[in-house]
Amino acid sequence: MPILRLEMRAGRTLEQKRAFAREVTRLAVDILACPPDSVDVVITEVPHENWAKAGTLVADQ
């Protein structure tokens, strides 16, 4: 029973998240030989003010 976790900056649409969940589930089923209902996908969105890159908050870029 795989749990696939994605952390990303906030801002993707609901349709983009649906498509991601659908496709990674399909790939997990194909590659890991598991049933689709055993695959969990957890998407965590991080607000820009809580994300830094190269020492600078993304909100400040």
Contact in structure between 8 and 45 (CB atoms under 8 Å): yes
- For residue 9, the cross-strand partners are 46
Complete domains list, the chain, with CATH: 3-60 (3.30.429.10)
36 has catalytic annotation: no
Kindly report, residue by residue over 10-42, the tens digit of the pLDDT.
999 999 999 999 999 999 999 999 999 999 999
The single residue of 2, 35, 36, 47 carrying the catalytic annotation is 2
Q: What is the pLDDT of residue 61?
A: 85
